[in-house]
Structures are given as C-alpha cells and as structure tokens.
Chains A and B, each alone.
Chain A
Amino acid sequence: MMLKFRILFFLLFVSFVCKAQQDSISLSKHIDFLIYLNDNGQLDDLNYQGDKLLLNKYYNNDQKDSLNFILGMINYRASKHSQSLHYLKEVTDSSIFYYKSKFYSGICQTEFHEYDSAFATIANLPTGDVELLSQLKTYELAAFSLLKRDYLGYDSLALKFNSDDSLLHSEQIILNDNQQKLRNLKRRSPLVAGTLSAIIPGLGLAYSGNNGQALAAFIRVAALGALTIEDYIKLGPENPQFIIFGSLFSFFYIGNIWGSALSVKIRYDEKIKEIDHNVMVGLRIPIDHFFR
C-alpha cells in the first residue's frame, strides 16, 4: 500500500514538473524565436512578443537586460531608432551588454538631434583602466561636442586623443578634419551674391558654389533679355509683345538676384548638413568595430 502511494506521488510530481517546464519555455528559445521573427521580416510581431516577454515576472534582471539588448539591437539594425532607444535605455549597469547598449543609445539619440542627451549618456559611463574603451568614450564625446557646435568642449576632448588602435586613430583624424572644415566654413555674403547676379545674371550663384544653376540662370535671363531687345528694336517700346517679354525678363532678372542671395544660406546649410552626416557616420564605425 505504502509503495503504491509513493509511486503515485512520484508520478504526480513528475507530471506537474513537466507541465511547469512546458509553460515556461526557456529564454534562449524565446530569443531564437525573436531572431526567427526578425529573419522573416516580422518586426511588429517581434516587438510585440518582446514587450510581452519583458513583462514576464519569472525572468530575472539579467534575462530582461539580455532581452532589452537583443530587441534594441534588432531595431537598431532595422533603422527603427526610436524603438531601439526605448529598449537599449532599459539595459542596467549590471549587464554585460551595458556598455554596448549605452554607446548605441548615444547613436540613436543623435538620430533625433538629441546631442545633449547623447553626451550625457556616454559621459556618465565609467571606463576604469580599459584604455581603448576610454579612448572610444573620448572620441564619441568629442563627436557629440562637434554636433552641438561646442568647439571648446571639443578642443579639450581632442587633446586626449591618443589611441593605439589604428581604426580609432584614423577616425580621430577624420573627426579632426571635419572639425576644421566646420570651423573654416564661412557663410558668404548674400549682399555680394545679389550684387554679382545683378551685374551678370547667375554670377551670384557661382559665387555661392552652385555652378550648374549659375549657367542655367544665365541662359534663361540672357535669352529673355535678347528677346526683349529684339522686340524693342523691331517693334518699338509700345508693342504688347515687347511689354510681355520685357515683363518676363524683369521677373526672371529680379528672381535671379533674389535666388542668388538665398542660395548663399541654402548652400551653407547643405555643407553643414554634409559635415554633420560625416560625423554621424564616423560615430558608428569605431563602435561597430570595438563591439564586434
């Protein structure tokens, strides 16, 4: 009787253990599932499932850190920077993924022009005695300073550039070049551009660096000018055709002056944007390399 009771108890115990194991599928399997969803382009499902897993009270902080990190990186690779930042920010300092998460959070923040937040995210990272990590942090902070146009901050950080790593070293040189370009970038005078275009149509556009547009503007205004002169000579000043072409010529001539003055600012903004883009691309290269 006692033996039968023991066997019965054992079987019941085994059945409930099996059921419990089935209910709580291992985290690694869930992560494999998330990767499977990503491989099949089901990003919405992936985030939905990820959020559900993060609410699972049976996972400890380390496991949730891993989940947040994986979800953050998958979203980052899919260029979903807002979602990526949402997950990466949640990775705690006890995680082995903490540093990587913080660096990638910084990159995501720059995508939204949140340079101060990006700076604060990286500035608070303790680097200890790891020289390469310290150099990487300095490099990132310098890049954020440049994006913020904090040249004094950049100078003080750039003094610490001393990397033995060849890739980081070359990126530091490129960042310095970009910094020089930003500092040397002079906004040309809209007044000069307008005056030049008044003298020779299109010259102001050439002055601001738009050579193609300058040629097009010159041909347009010159053709209309020639038409107006032809009509003036052959038809006289009171002829309607002269008045129409004369008006058109005046319109395009004034437009060319106005356009030249505006193009100075547009060209300047384009150049700034281009340098900022180069700095932002440069932010990623050493991070990808370091955490590969």
Chain B
Amino acid sequence: MSWWVCGFLLIISLDKSSASSFREADSLFSAGLYHDAQIAYEFIAFENQDNELIIANALLKKANCLKAENHSDKVFQTLSRCKIDKLDDSLKANIYFEQSLSAFNAGNFNIARKTIEPLLSLNTNREMDLASVFLCSLILDELGEWAISKNNLISYLNRDTTISQSLKDSLKNNISLIYNPDLYPRLKKIKKARLLSMILPGSGQLYSGKPWKGVVAFGLVALSGAYVYYDIVSELYLAAAVGFYLGETFYVGNVNQVNAIIIKRNQHKIDHFNVVNKSELSQFYKKISHL
C-alpha cells in the first residue's frame, strides 16, 4: 500500500505537463482572478513556444479572460499572435470567430467581415457553423449587404442535416419575410448626390433629404455669384475677386457636404432596419440552436 502512495505522490510532484498548467490557469479563471489567469495562460504559451497548438489554446483562453474583464478590444490583437496556418480547422474556426466578434463589437465591420469569411469555408462542427453563419449575417446586415446575408442563412439551412425539410421550408419563409427586398431601406447614392450638387448647388442636399441645407447651400452660392456680377458691373474688380473666391469656397463646400449627409442618413436607415432584424435573427438562432 505504501508503495502505491509514494508512486502517486511522485506522479503528482513531477506532473509538469501543459494540461496541468491549463488546469491551474482555468482554476484562476473560475475564481474570477482574470488577470492572474491571463498571466498563467501567457506562461503556458511561453513554455511551449515550439508548439503552435498549445499557444493557440492558451491565447484563446486568454482572450476569454480579456472578455471577462471587458477588454474585448484587446482580443483581436492577442489572437493575431496565433500562427493560423499551422492549426487544425476547429482551432482556426475558434480564433477567426473570436477575432471577428471582437471586431464586430468594436464596430469595425469590414475587418469583422474579412475575418469571418475564411471561417465559413472551414470544416467545423454544427455549433460553430451555426454561430459563424449568424455572426456573418449580423456583420453583413451592418454593412447593408442584406441579399448576401439572406443567401448566407439559406445556404446554411440547406446544408444542415439535423433540420427536417418541413421546418427548413418554414424557416426559409421566415428568412424571406425578414429579408423582404421591399422593406430594405432605400439608400442614397453619394456619386449621384455629388453630381447633382455640382450641376445645381443645393440639389444634392435636396436629394439626400435635407431640403433646408440645400436652400442654404444654393443661397450662399447664388449670393456670391450675384455679388461678383454686381462688383464687375460696378468696376470693383478687387471686390469681385474676393466674391469669386468666396463663391468657389461655398460651391466646393456644397458638393463635399453631401458626402457627410448621405453617410449619416444611410447609416441611420441601416441601423433602424437592423434593430428589427437583429431581434428576429436572435429568435431564429435560438430556434435552430436548440434543435
């Protein structure tokens, strides 16, 4: 009996594997000691610098600590240290997902899209596939790419074998209702607005839905023109030059102003549409994930 006890004690004392280090770090995380856990995970990565798999696992867990500490902004940078090409699909998927989520939460939707796209082509389990498809749709919605978002969801339904055909049809109908092209916000085109403002000052603002700004822009350019005309007629050439300079400034300002107006208004419309979409999508996600 005593030999067994000694052997057990020896095994415990010599157990320096990464698994035991992970257990220690995990216990710190469970105890809410997030910064200590972060250091412990970094130490694991440090001790296994030749093992990309362990480094990636350690950094993923560190990312969880950062999220628990409300430092989501540091998640992307932390996971960027993983050498993705040396990892298996499951780990790759986790890293891409966390990075994309971090970018999405930070409002960097283009970066989030670039990070989530490689994930969709990976061979992952159903849970990750579903989560990544929904995150991708949320990102695409924010970018105003509703048609691609809809296709993304429908192609998921087509490949999910755990859902019955009748339920698939019903869910596809739901998606078609959520992404009804008739309900898409009518987004204004910047190029068109700029062209209009170039031809007739103020008309771009009018097209963008800001008629009063259009009136002001037109008024300023028109007044400058009238002033230049008056000065030339009165042979006040220096004053005419000043008037021309002012008029040119107002004209350029009137063209540039439509950019800011349209970006703001389009974003407002997208946000308004997506608020409704988000709640519908979350219901939809819950329904499928419980299957």
B177 interfacial by beta-carbon distance below 8 Å: no
Give the distance to chain B from A42, nearest Cβ to Cβ, in Å.
7
B42 surroundings in chain A (CB, below 8 A)? 33, 36-37, 42, 45
Q: How far is the CA of A10 from the CA of B237 in the complex (A)?
A: 108
Give the distance to chain A from B241, nearest Cβ to Cβ, in Å.
9
> In the complex, are the beta carbons of A234 and B236 less than 8 A apart?
yes
Give the distance to chain A from B156, nearest Cβ to Cβ, in Å.
36
> In the complex, are the beta carbons of A227 and B6 less than 8 A apart?
no
B9 surroundings in chain A (CB, below 8 A)? 11-12, 15-16
**Out of B13, B39, B43, B237, which one reaches A22, CB within 8 Å?**
B13
Residues 123-143 of A contacting B (Cβ, < 8 Å): none
A235 interfacial by beta-carbon distance below 8 Å: yes
User: Which residue on A lies nearest to B20, using beta carbons?
Assistant: A22
User: Which residue on A lies nearest to B9, using beta carbons?
Assistant: A15
Q: Residues 219-262 of chain A: 1 if any B CB is under 8 Å from the residue's CB, otherwise 0?
A: 00001001100110011000001000100000000000000000
A-B contact pairs, 25 of them (CB 8 A): A11-B9, A11-B10, A15-B9, A15-B12, A18-B10, A18-B14, A19-B12, A22-B13, A22-B16, A36-B46, A37-B42, A37-B46, A40-B81, A45-B39, A48-B35, A48-B39, A227-B242, A230-B236, A230-B237, A230-B239, A231-B236, A234-B234, A234-B236, A235-B236, A241-B236
Main secondary structure of the interface of A (DSSP, over half): helix
**Out of B3, B6, B234, which one reaches A15, CB within 8 Å?**
B6
> In the complex, are the beta carbons of B238 and A230 less than 8 A apart?
yes
Give the distance to chain A from B171, nearest Cβ to Cβ, in Å.
44
B170 interfacial by beta-carbon distance below 8 Å: no
User: Which residue on A lies nearest to B15, using beta carbons?
Assistant: A22
Give the distance to chain A from B13, nearest Cβ to Cβ, in Å.
4
Give the distance to chain A from B160, nearest Cβ to Cβ, in Å.
39
User: How many B residues, CB 8 Å from partner?
Assistant: 25
Q: Given A227-B242, A231-B236, is A18 in contact with B6 using a C-beta cutoff of 8 Å?
A: no
Give the distance to chain B from A220, nearest Cβ to Cβ, in Å.
12
A14 interfacial by beta-carbon distance below 8 Å: yes
User: Which residue on B lies nearest to A10, using beta carbons?
Assistant: B6
A278 interfacial by beta-carbon distance below 8 Å: no
> In the complex, are the beta carbons of B38 and A12 less than 8 A apart?
no
> In the complex, are the beta carbons of A15 and B13 less than 8 A apart?
yes
A185 interfacial by beta-carbon distance below 8 Å: no
Q: How far is the CA of A52 from the CA of B36 in the complex (A)?
A: 10
Q: How far is the CA of A30 from the CA of B238 in the complex (A)?
A: 75
Q: How far is the CA of A18 from the CA of B12 in the complex (A)?
A: 10
A61 interfacial by beta-carbon distance below 8 Å: no
User: Which residue on B lies nearest to A245, using beta carbons?
Assistant: B239
B279 interfacial by beta-carbon distance below 8 Å: no
Per CB-CB distance, the 8 closest pairs between chain A and chain B, nearest first, are A19-B13, A18-B13, A15-B9, A11-B6, A15-B13, A36-B46, A15-B10, A230-B238
- Apart from A11-B10, A18-B10, A230-B239, list 16 A-B contacts with CB within 8 A: A8-B3, A12-B6, A14-B10, A15-B12, A15-B13, A16-B9, A16-B13, A18-B13, A36-B46, A42-B42, A45-B35, A45-B42, A223-B238, A234-B234, A234-B235, A241-B239
Q: How far is the CA of A90 from the CA of B13 in the complex (A)?
A: 36
> In the complex, are the beta carbons of B10 and A227 less than 8 A apart?
no
**Which residues of B does A touch, CB under 8 Å?**
2-3, 6, 9-10, 12-14, 16, 35, 38-39, 42-43, 46, 49, 77, 81, 234-239, 242
B38 surroundings in chain A (CB, below 8 A)? 45
> In the complex, are the beta carbons of B236 and A49 less than 8 A apart?
no
> In the complex, are the beta carbons of A8 and B10 less than 8 A apart?
no
**Out of B2, B35, B81, which one reaches A8, CB within 8 Å?**
B2
A32 surroundings in chain B (CB, below 8 A)? 46
User: Which residue on B lies nearest to A33, using beta carbons?
Assistant: B46
**Out of A12, A18, A48, A235, which one reaches B234, CB within 8 Å?**
A235
Q: How far is the CA of A176 from the CA of B38 in the complex (A)?
A: 51
Give the distance to chain A from B48, nearest Cβ to Cβ, in Å.
11
Q: Residues 272-285 of chain A: 1 if any B CB is under 8 Å from the residue's CB, otherwise 0?
A: 00000000000000
Give the distance to chain A from B56, nearest Cβ to Cβ, in Å.
14
> In the complex, are the beta carbons of B6 and A33 less than 8 A apart?
no
> In the complex, are the beta carbons of A226 and B238 less than 8 A apart?
yes
User: Which residue on A lies nearest to B230, using beta carbons?
Assistant: A241
B235 surroundings in chain A (CB, below 8 A)? 234
User: Which residue on A lies nearest to B59, using beta carbons?
Assistant: A40
Q: Given A16-B13, A234-B234, is A33 in contact with B35 using a C-beta cutoff of 8 Å?
A: no
A42 surroundings in chain B (CB, below 8 A)? 42
> In the complex, are the beta carbons of B43 and A33 less than 8 A apart?
yes
B12 surroundings in chain A (CB, below 8 A)? 15, 19
Q: Residues 32-75 of chain A: 1 if any B CB is under 8 Å from the residue's CB, otherwise 0?
A: 11001100111001001100100000000000000000000000
Give the distance to chain B from A55, nearest Cβ to Cβ, in Å.
13
B46 surroundings in chain A (CB, below 8 A)? 32-33, 36-37
A41 surroundings in chain B (CB, below 8 A)? 77
Give the distance to chain B from A183, nearest Cβ to Cβ, in Å.
48
Give the distance to chain B from A255, nearest Cβ to Cβ, in Å.
18
Give the distance to chain B from A207, nearest Cβ to Cβ, in Å.
29
Give the distance to chain A from B39, nearest Cβ to Cβ, in Å.
5
B242 surroundings in chain A (CB, below 8 A)? 223, 227
